[in-house]
Structure 1
Amino acid sequence: MKGIVCILFLFSYTVSAQSYKTESGEAIFHSKVPLHSFTGSSEHLIGLINLDAKTVDFYLDLATLDTGIGKRDRDMRETLETDKHPFAEFFGKLVSDFDPSISKKQTVMVEGDFKIHGVKRNVRIDGTLQMTDQGLQLYASWILKLADYNIKPPQILFVKVDQEQEIEIKAILTPTEN
């Protein structure tokens, strides 16, 4: 009997813990130039999802992005003007249903404001959420158009970085204390 009570208590805690956070999510971008592509990433994505309020809040210190080549990283920071605009930020709402009692991966959509390079735009982003033993697993991806955020793609001679950048985020968010 004590075992059943313990299991029910743990289950009710898991379902009632409706805020989840990460301080070590991963943000990845995929970029192209003619005849070449490269990827940059950071494992410093910070975020909070509140399932009761359906709020989603993430930000990334852009100086933590790394492509593996120092000069390219410096050029990227200069292009993004990280001295003036150090963060990429998203704040919005979960606009689709998510049931934390289901352990299968669920397709979700968020809508809100994404800000980078000092420009804020309303966006809709598709992704997945899945409740796991580790916490709330998040994956999302979207296309960011540099011109939408007044970002001039870097250019060397006649070779220019593509206007469209594929963005991905991945994270395991753990319950916050109420």
Structure 2
Amino acid sequence: MNKLLLVLIFSISASVTSQTNEFIERMGQVTFFSYTSVENIQATNNQTLSLFNPNSHEIAVSILMRAFVFKKSLMHEHFNESYIESDLYPKATFSGKIIGFDPSDTGMQTRIIKGEFTLKDVTKPIDVKATITKTDNGYTITGTLDVMIDDYNIKVPPLLSPNISKKIEVSFNFNYAPYEK
């Protein structure tokens, strides 16, 4: 009897777990852009990990800072060593919830994602405007946000201050597929 009860509980929990409807993006794209009069700075990271649960409306993102690719190797070096300090702070994270999201809607939805963004061990609440589209196999979530470098203790030497924008535009594109556990 105990074995039958154990099998039944295991079957129910496995069924509930398989219905959690989680989606994963293992190679999401995050790009940042900084405009200055001297030189524009742009970098792209195609190794961003993200999980999305349409039922709970929750989303989580993990960004490896060293995975950003720059046009110039010197920019990559300065970004990781001087500004982001990637050895001390190897990743940035975001976790949040999509407000007003309807998982049964098969069209495109523009929603606000409320959450917390952590960069260099500084966590700040942010709201991100995003577009969520249901695809044949999952979801696509895209959006753009502005990050103020002063908010995250990114120090710029006074001599270089005119070359670095105080506001960085960050855009993202995640194509989620069903998460197989």
TM-score using structure 2 length: 0.82
Distance 2:160 2:54 in 1: 49
Q: Which residue of 2 aligns with 1:105?
A: 108
Q: Which residue of 2 aligns with 1:51?
A: 54
Q: Which residue of 1 aligns with 2:78?
A: 75
Q: Secondary structure at the match of 2:107?
A: coil
Gaps of 5+ in 2: 1-18
Would you say how many aligned residue pairs link Structure 1 and Structure 2? 162
Query: How far is the alpha carbon of 1:23 from its aligned partner?
Result: 0.4
CA contact (8 A) 2:38 2:163 kept: no
Q: Secondary structure at the match of 1:159?
A: helix
Q: Report the residue type matching 1:100 in the other structure.
A: P
Distance 1:20 1:134 in 2: 10
Q: Which residue of 1 aligns with 2:27?
A: 24
Q: Report the residue type matching 1:33 in the other structure.
A: T
Query: How far is the alpha carbon of 1:115 from its aligned partner?
Result: 0.3
Distance 1:134 1:154 in 2: 47
- Are residues 50 and 69 of structure 1, via their aligned partners in 2, closer, same or farther at CA, if it must alter by over 3 Å? same
Let me know the Cα RMSD of the aligned residues: 1.8
Distance 1:147 1:98 in 2: 32
Query: How far is the alpha carbon of 1:92 from its aligned partner?
Result: 1.4
Q: Which runs of 4+ in 1 moved over 6 A?
A: none
- Are residues 157 and 110 of structure 1, via their aligned partners in 2, closer, same or farther at CA, if it must alter by over 3 Å? closer
- Are residues 129 and 63 of structure 1, via their aligned partners in 2, closer, same or farther at CA, if it must alter by over 3 Å? same
Q: Report the residue type matching 1:87 in the other structure.
A: K
Q: Which residue of 2 aligns with 1:40?
A: 43
Identify which range, 99-108 or 60-69, moves more after superposition.
99-108
Distance 1:56 1:157 in 2: 36
Percent identical pairs in the alignment equals: 22
**CA-to-aligned-CA distance 1:59-117 (integer Å, 9 cap, x gap):** 110000011211110001111010000101001112x2223333321101111110001
Distance 2:128 2:140 in 1: 16
TM-score using structure 1 length: 0.84
Q: Secondary structure at the match of 1:33?
A: coil
Give matches, 1:137-148, under 5 Å.
137-148=140-151
Distance 1:41 1:139 in 2: 15
Q: Report the residue type matching 1:115 in the other structure.
A: T
Gaps of 5+ in 1: 1-15
Query: How far is the alpha carbon of 1:20 from its aligned partner?
Result: 0.9
CA contact (8 A) 2:39 2:163 kept: no
Larger Rg: 2
